[in-house]
Amino acid sequence: MARILNGAAMAIGGVGIFFGFYFLSAAPGTSIAIVTVTTVGLVGILAFVRHVVFFRSDAERLGWQTDRPDWMFEVGFANLAFGLMGFWAGLGSLDAKLCGVVLAGYCLYLFQAAMLHLYRYLTDERRSPARLWRSVVLTLAYVGMMAFFAVRALAA
């Protein structure tokens, strides 16, 4: 189930970024709100569900099985906090600067997660190319695109 939720989150984030670029020149405020709601709001809430409700399959997906999933719950709660802030900023306030701050915060959070996955990849005895591409390269590309919108929002 964690793989399905992760795939859904990646698809939703990708669609949000596509529409963000699509509307950027004609309606920058709408563009930034779409990116905030999708890449932070929906993705954050799906990550919460994946990390907390389906923590066993998510730990297996990550290769980090544990008898004490407290850290997964903590990560899930952080994702939920960002996800709710993404909805509030993108739908509730429609304030570009608030969206920019929320986007920048989630970018920093995901950047750190990508660096952790890179460290794990480099120090693991069994280096998984899937982990490198999915958890590092794709995450960094996602962070870069979100950062673009965060900077645009904060510069508005």
Q: What's the chain's average pLDDT?
A: 93
Q: What confidence tier does 148 reach under pLDDT thresholds 50, 70, 90?
A: very high
List the structure tokens of 136.
């590092």
In this structure, how many other beta carbons lie within 10 angstroms of the beta carbon of residue 123?
A: 8
Instruction: Assess contact for 5 and 46: CB atoms under 8 A.
Output: yes
Q: 38 or 125: which carries more pLDDT confidence? A: 38
- Prediction pTM value: 0.93
Q: Is the pLDDT of residue 64 over 80?
A: no
Q: Is the pLDDT of residue 90 over 80?
A: yes
Tell me the percentage of the chain whose pLDDT exceeds 70. 100
- For the chain, the straight-line distance linking the first and the last C-alpha, in angstroms and rounded, comes to 40
pLDDT, one tens digit per residue, over 46-61 is: 999 999 999 888 878 7
User: 10 Cβ partners below 8 Å, 6+ apart?
Assistant: 138, 142
pLDDT (0 to 100) of residue 130: 82
